[in-house]
Structures are given as structure tokens and as C-alpha cells.
Chains A and B, each alone.
Chain A
């Protein structure tokens, strides 16, 4: 994998359901994996930064895991709420001082 890829591109989830999506990134020269939450008409806000294989981070109902050997990270949202509707971006940083953003997963929560 040469780029950062996120799947699915968009997701519609019923309020109260749990969901997850994926970020795949180049595993060579990996340094850090960032997750951002981006609401419409606002700016991206940092959720997590993970650097070590096996890292897990949690903030309220949102959590993320990291597998640097195979080059993927999962973001989980438990008990989705309407305010979770946003685009979730991941970005991979490399030791070459590069950062590449994925195209995002657009999440819509149906009340």
C-alpha cells in the first residue's frame, strides 16, 4: 500500500448501533497514525494519535486500535448518536517527515 486508504467511503448507521471503519496505510517507515473528526462546515479535530503496534486509545464511546505490522487501524463508535455524524479522517506519518491523509469515511447517523 502506497497511499492511505479508508473504507467504507460512507456509512449510514441507525442511532444506538455500534459501527467501525478502517484505515490502511504503508507499514514501511511508519511513525504515527492520526485520527480526526471533521464535521461539515468546521475544521478537522484530533481524536487520537497512535505510534506503537497494538496501541488502543479510547475517548468516551470512540476507540481506535493500531496494527503497524500489517498497516491498518480501526475506529470504533459504540452506541452511535446523531452528534457522531461527521467525516472521520485518518493520516499516516512516516519517518521521512511526511503525512498523508486518507479520503475519509463519511458517517451519517439516522435518528
Chain B
């Protein structure tokens, strides 16, 4: 049973399109996250939700909009995709809030490629 699952695993699309990545966790965790792995392989936090409430919103273009319909799901919608959005996006979840004493569990990542 996959703990944190994200779909799709690969996404290839044209510049200017709108796309969504879905994430679900079955761990009963309260907090979920979206990270971007940039070209230098750094992991940068984008958003974090705790019990459906946005608690971290880093400097990310407005074209990125997270949505948490319930605490087990955190989806990422991206409008007007640009070449620079090409990256691997990781979803994660944890029992307690960001940076607290509970580890994060990561999904397998979604590799987004913009043509």
C-alpha cells in the first residue's frame, strides 16, 4: 500500500497549457507539502497545508495554486506553464507541522517537462 501517492509520474506538455498534479496520503497525517526539485537538485518547499489550511506559501508565481479538498489530498494546479516550470515536483506529508519532530514521507515525484 503506497503511503504518499502522486499522479501522474510523468507529465509532458506544451508551454502555455494548464495542468494539475494530484497527491493523496493514506497515513492519517495532518500536514501535506509540495516541493520543487530545481535544476541544481535542491529541494525547495512551495506550499504546506495543515488540516486543509494553507500554512506555508513560499515565493511562488501566482500561476501555481494548491488545493486541499480534505486533509488526505493536496493537489497542485499550474496555469500557463512556462519552460522554467520543468522540474520534479514532490508531494510529502507528516503527522505534525513543518519542521516539527515528525519526519516527512515523500511521494515518488512527478517529472514535469515543458516543450
Contact = CB atoms under 8 A, between A and B. Distances in A.
A98 B98 contact: yes
Identify whether the interface residues of A are mostly helix, strand, loop, or mixed. Answer: strand
A86 interface: no
A42 B108 CA distance: 6
A104 to B, nearest CB: 7
A49 interface: yes
B106 A103 contact: no
B100 A44 contact: no
B101 A32 contact: yes
B100 A93 contact: yes
Contact of B106 (A43, A97, A104): A43
B56 A46 contact: no
| Interface size grouping (class) on chain B | 20 to 34
Interface of A: 31-32, 34, 36, 42-46, 49, 51, 87, 89, 91-94, 97-101, 103-104
B5 to A, nearest CB: 11
Instruction: Give the most central of B90, B99, B100, B101: most A CB within 10 Å.
Output: B99
A43 B37 CA distance: 11
Contacts of B52: none
